[in-house]
Structure formats: structure tokens, C-alpha cells
Amino acid sequence: LAPRALLEALLSIEAEGGRTRDFHRAPRTMDLDLLLHDDIVLDEPGLQLPHPRMHERAFVLQPLAEIAPTATIPGHGSVQSLLAGVADQSIERC
């Protein structure tokens, strides 16, 4: 799917799963984010690619490094190199 169509599909899955958006940063029953889409860089209302701040979050980078160790975040660099910058963030596997 194209990025916008994929985002709409993710939002639909969230809604079907009972996700509501009562207020900004409300507790979530489900949160599906579109992080990357190939090497596409977009900044449109409601859709930014790569996902903003993903390069600053260990809970995003660590799992991404496990499934795509050679991944690169456009404009920020390789996932492997970005991991060093978030080494102070602790995450736990559930």
C-alpha cells in the first residue's frame, strides 16, 4: 500500500480494536504507528515519514534493529549507529 493508504488501514485496525482518541496522550488500548515506508520522506498533515522522534527512542530502535539490522532512517542514519545515542534508555521485553 502507499503510505497514506497504509496509515488509513492502521487507523481502521485500531478503531476495530476499540481504540479511541479521547484527548492528546490519552491511555491507549492499541497504538499502531507507521514508522518507515521504504526510503520515503513525507511531511503531510497527519503523516510524517520517517515517524518523528523514532530515532530518539530505544523502544523503537531496539526491536527495529532485531528485525532489520541494516535499516536506515532517512535523514538520521543507520539504526545500528542510532542505538548508541539511546543507550541510556531502559526497555524491557514483555
Domain that holds residue 93: 51-94
- Catalytic residue positions, numbered: 19, 28, 31, 33
pLDDT digits (tens, 9 = 90+) for 73-94: 999 999 999 999 999 999 888 7
Q: Are 61 and 86 in contact, with CB atoms under 8 Å apart?
A: yes
Structural domain tally of the chain?
A: 1
pLDDT digits (tens, 9 = 90+) for 35-72: 999 999 999 999 999 999 999 999 999 999 999 999 99
User: Does residue 16 lie in a domain region?
Assistant: no
User: Does residue 63 lie in a domain region?
Assistant: yes
